[in-house]
Amino acid sequence: MRLRLATLFVDIAGSTRLVVHHPPETVLGVVQCFTALVTEIARAHEGRVKDFEGDGVLLYFDSARRAAEAALAIRAALDHRGCDAACEGGPAAAVRMSLTVGDVAVGAIGSPSAPALALVGPSVHLGARLLKVLPPGRIVANEDAVAALQAEAPALAGRFRLLDAAWEVPAADGVTVAVYALAEPGPDGAPPPRPPRRLEDEGAPASVRR
């Protein structure tokens, strides 16, 4: 079955450093706190958990707006409470997030005794690759996600700025995509000063091209 989905990767940054410098029980506590927080917020925004993958979570949504709002809520919750207090003073979790929209094949994999769900499509693969584009705490998106937000939530779409018009996807034989980043508010908490722009006004490239 093919669906148009928004996928949101939420990944703990610096997980290797956590494992090296802290006892396994402490790191497990951070991951437990992090995954519980992310899951609760995703469900509150009508999202679903596809996978807990090591130190990250893959979420999917029927709406780009709900996915973006969930990403903002996750970041706000981690900024407010972190995952240290819930882990008896353990290290706080800094995260990276990538939001992508695209056509995804959804189906069961595995055996009847141990079934699992698969999400297969370029946008899902791209989301995993985009996690390394920005430093921890930032949110990155593909062009299709921003275009979907323009239709669903123009004000939210206007908070994304073009980061790279032709970012080359690693190990994809030269395929490039337009990459956007959520603009950070000013030091006084004010929204980014530049007004929202429409993709067609920018002459933005196609989502994926050679």
For the chain, the structural domain boundaries read: 2-209
Which CATH superfamily hosts domain 2-209? Nucleotide cyclase, GGDEF domain (3.30.70.1230)
Q: Do 98 and 180 contact (CB within 8 A), yes or no?
A: no
- The pTM (predicted TM-score) of the whole model is 0.83
Instruction: Give, as one character, the DSSP assignment of residue 37.
Output: H
| Angstrom distance (rounded) from CA 44 to CA 60 | 13
For residues 178 and 165, is the Cβ–Cβ distance under 8 A? Answer: yes
Tens digit of pLDDT per residue, the chain (210 long)? 999 999 999 998 877 777 888 888 888 888 888 899 999 999 999 999 998 876 789 999 999 999 999 999 999 988 876 665 445 555 666 789 999 999 999 999 999 999 999 999 999 999 999 998 988 889 999 999 999 999 999 999 999 999 999 999 998 898 999 999 999 765 444 445 444 444 444 443 333 333
CA distance 3 to 199: 23
Question: CB-side exposure of 73: number of CA atoms within 13 Å?
Answer: 18
Cβ–Cβ under 8 Å, residues 11 and 97: yes
